[in-house]
A and B are shown apart, each in its own frame.
Chain A
């Protein structure tokens, strides 16, 4: 019984990590950028949802509004900060991403103050639980799992079957060759950012329902954990990001339930290190051979 509830708990947390990790992984796969601003896009999504709900908008408007906000923000960031640096050394791009992350955090602090604000989670997902075979599962956990699985299925379809997904895969394989085949590289990259941040927006709302508060720094720790998940699964690989997210979520819940909550983060990083040492590309990453 306890095991089952912890399992659901871990899966719920893991699916949020997985949604966020997908954004990291997709962006990395296409322009090899560790997008540190991704966590802060989540924070912005949380604030938009909070503002929309406190303004009295119904959930079915507030949630899409927050997702669209995330998408717009990511596209603006890509156009303004990242696209001038397509040819620059990668470390400059990384520092720019860190700069964007700091900017978003501090702007949020300026506008909303550093204090965390309560998030009206019960408006988005009603409290209560449903009984399945004698086990009680809260609505929040159920909705999180269903939404996460559906978004992942949609994403897999998008990447594998649609024309834009084909373009994405082509650009991540070889940017130059993709351009020669008539694919617009810049719009493909923007589209990747948009898809990644749409998932981040969904993740933001699910995260706010689980931990019902919003603060300017909420994105940094969530971002870091999701990032670890993406690396664990093999950065650049979409199924890897999902697997990594679930693995991190489950392991975090396991360590906490065994009474080691102070060591949770250390265990997560230790697992990451061990996995990277045994299999340097993560669970599902492709080994890249070095050209001489």
Chain B
């Protein structure tokens, strides 16, 4: 049995009133393909299928999709990892508006990323050489800077589904902590006060869906815990 039964979420705003699931059969010839390969084979059957992809090696983060109920990057997910009984269900990332088929509108996600000011801020006068950092301080950024903004985590988070406008979400908060933890950044106080409300950080209930899906093996839950600790010790 090398035929894979694939069910794909389809929606074309110009012709469809509502999304629907479409069935495809793909002959994998017994190979353990990546899900992206399967999507490409379906694209050959039906060229109207829309999806995002770019680097096809888990670096660009553009092909985040919900595969059999779990978010992940299609290019680095072998079908053996997600299929149940030769069946693969592909749906767009949950919680974000669908532009077409597997393509979602990421504006809300990017807005939350923009909100945490994801760039180094330092009010000291510019030195003649680079701003130096000890190896120990540099180590603090490991597990934070590697994020590729694929949105797999934030779109697996119920708190982000219900409050995408107020809760920063795991991806944004991981980056918020990346700059809070950076010894070269001097805006710690301002960063913390912009997060100090009931929604931005504290909507996280620690259910760890984000950690469960991150294709880079990062841990937003731990970063959020660290931000909470900083908020706590910063409060009077």
Do A and B bind? Answer: no
Residues of B within 8 A of A (CB): none
